[in-house]
Chains A and B, each alone.
Chain A
């Protein structure tokens, strides 16, 4: 690009998405793919640097910043958008295609936002565009879940904007740089920004919008959703809060609690949503540790994660597309008729579990090593437990219950060709990243000298994974592994879906009753008063009955005499 001007990466998709509905139905899928590819080409041709500084309402705004940190996120977001566009080739629904394109474009543009204000604009755009993907599920549950999703996401945006305004007032700058306080005590601006990011990154207790909404979308909608929002938050966290110690423990909690929910969840796309939450935990821990190795690990893990998580959501999307459900209780034995989908799912499962030669291994081990180098023993232990947990729900449960396990008798046809193409490319990338890892390491924000394939690394990792698999066999053989059940599990969404509405309903009953009591009492009081006064003016009562003129004259005389006496005394 020439001089001081460059197109913000992603803008082609962001604006082009608006024209997608104008294309004919047959050309729309191609248009979506073309926009994503074109955006990737423009992105690759744009050199690093900051572009587009201009004054806006008296504030100096920077539109675009391209540096190593944003570069990797932008690159993998483009990959995800292209994979999702191929996977969604069958769509004949302009709303999803438009929403998906604009959503991906906004997420990419957000990575390259030059300052906090531009970040906010794209941040809100991702929220608004993506909710249409949740609603595309088409059910009443999807509609209501989308509403909850929208409230949470826009809420995050409002918090972000509040934080940005306070930050601007205090520091007179909109620069999006590290806001980690040296003293460890946050001032209000950065704190609000951190909470806004925390909502999108699905921090513990702020997480449940993710498991609530993602499984409600369409097969391809969830592939789009899984890639962008949460990783945008990880990017923002790596940019704004590296080395914030609290993040280590927040991340640890995030790696642990979802794996327990994942064990008992029946909806396999919800299992993947819990798994996604757990993976984000690894990245948050890395950002919290904040060393060069840890930040590299977090960024590399986000990169690899987007691809293998897309792959897993694609394989479950293909099952949903063919069978109409992804409930573990309804599935089983699908490998017979969907062997390619099974194979791709197994590669994704291996990658997320961290098997050597696949992408998860070369990124997750960096975070574990960073915890080790920092001497954080308990963090290291927790991440090991979490790794065994990943093996449980993503490595074994997802492929086992969908494609093997007991035979459900279902023989759906193999996934359509375009879905297989997307899955095979994603699986290929998982293998490529696992083997040709220096390609990724070269692009990391800090100089990387890390060596993932040492004998010790490979053997200890295989020990962990294989003995976890052995534990699964042991629990299955001894009938101790919990059977899948047609049920749902409560999570924190229970608070706002059940507890608060019940509380409000109860409050309204109490309030209504007390309101009625107060009103009725007041009415009764007034009626009684009127009755009383009425009785005084009755024709036989004191004021109502006819009085003789003699009595009147007497009392008038008494009144006059009293006045006279009063005047006399007061003088």
Chain B
């Protein structure tokens, strides 16, 4: 890789939500990231709607009959896990050289 290229990319530090704003590559373009996210929305919508068209022949538990159960469960579980992580960080976070001092 040439230095010039490295420098150009070195400048395009991502915005605060962690996604890069500009650049020459497909994933570096915000428009493409947005397209990617729209794609995800679309897939999610299809998966929720899919619950109308099929029936689970042998559900193990009653909760599985709730509409799109695993969809909202997955979303909620993910958020809860991340928040528990944030909470845990308050307790267990230490400087990197904690054990070497």
Contact = CB atoms under 8 A, between A and B. Distances in A.
Interface of A: 140-141, 259-264, 332-333, 335-337, 369, 372-373, 375, 377, 380, 384-385, 387-389, 391-392, 404-407, 409, 411, 413, 454-456, 459-477, 479-482, 485-491, 497-498
A406 to B, nearest CB: 3
Contacts of B57: 454, 456
Contacts of A373: 60
Interface in B83-100: 84-86, 88-89, 91-96, 98-100
Interface of chain B, helix or strand or loop or mixed? helix
A471 B40 CA distance: 11
Max chain A C-beta neighbours (<10 A), residue from B5, B50, B77, B96? B77
Contact of A472 (B6, B76, B78): B78
B19 interface: yes
Contacts of A477: 17
A247 to B, nearest CB: 20
Contacts of A384: 70, 73-74, 77
Interface string B8-48: 01101110111110010101100000000100110110011
A471 B56 contact: no
Interface string B51-69: 1001111011100100011
**Pairs A-B, 5 closest by C-beta atoms:** A263-B85, A372-B60, A406-B14, A409-B10, A471-B78
Contact of A259 (B70, B81, B99): B81
Given A372-B61, A470-B40, A470-B75, A460 B88 contact: no
A286 to B, nearest CB: 16
Contacts of B99: 141, 488, 497-498
B74 A260 contact: no
Given A388-B81, A461-B70, A464-B71, A336 B25 contact: yes
Interface of B: 1, 5-6, 9-10, 12-14, 16-20, 23, 25, 27-28, 37, 40-41, 43-44, 47-48, 50-51, 54-57, 59-61, 64, 68-82, 84-86, 88-89, 91-96, 98-100
A239 to B, nearest CB: 28
Nearest to B64: A460
Contacts of A409: 6, 9-10
Given A385-B77, A388-B77, A489-B92, A406 B20 contact: yes
B73 A464 contact: yes
A333 B81 contact: no
B74 A388 contact: yes
Given A406-B13, A407-B13, A475 B20 contact: no
Given A407-B9, A411-B9, A488 B71 contact: no
B19 A476 contact: yes
Contacts of A464: 70-71, 73-74
A330 to B, nearest CB: 12
Given A335-B27, A471-B78, 6 more contacts: A259-B81, A391-B74, A411-B5, A468-B78, A470-B75, A488-B98
Contacts of A385: 77, 80-81
Contacts of A455: 54
B86 A407 contact: no
A336 B23 CA distance: 11
B27 A482 contact: no
Contact of A466 (B6, B47, B77): B47
Contacts of A476: 17-19
B47 A471 contact: no
B74 A463 contact: yes
Given A456-B56, A485-B93, A467 B9 contact: no
23 contacts: A141-B99, A263-B82, A333-B28, A336-B28, A384-B77, A387-B74, A388-B77, A392-B81, A405-B14, A411-B1, A411-B5, A463-B47, A465-B74, A467-B71, A468-B78, A470-B75, A471-B76, A477-B17, A485-B89, A487-B93, A487-B95, A488-B95, A489-B88
Contact of B75 (A141, A335, A389, A467): A467
B29 to A, nearest CB: 12
A462 B46 CA distance: 11
A335 to B, nearest CB: 7
A487 B94 contact: yes
B79 A482 contact: no
Contacts of A485: 89, 93
B8 to A, nearest CB: 10
Contacts of B61: 372, 377, 380
Given A260-B84, A486-B96, A388 B78 contact: yes
Nearest to A371: B60
Nearest to A373: B60
A406 B73 contact: no
B82 A482 contact: yes
A259 B80 CA distance: 11
B41 to A, nearest CB: 8
A391 B74 CA distance: 10
A332 B84 CA distance: 25
Nearest to B48: A463
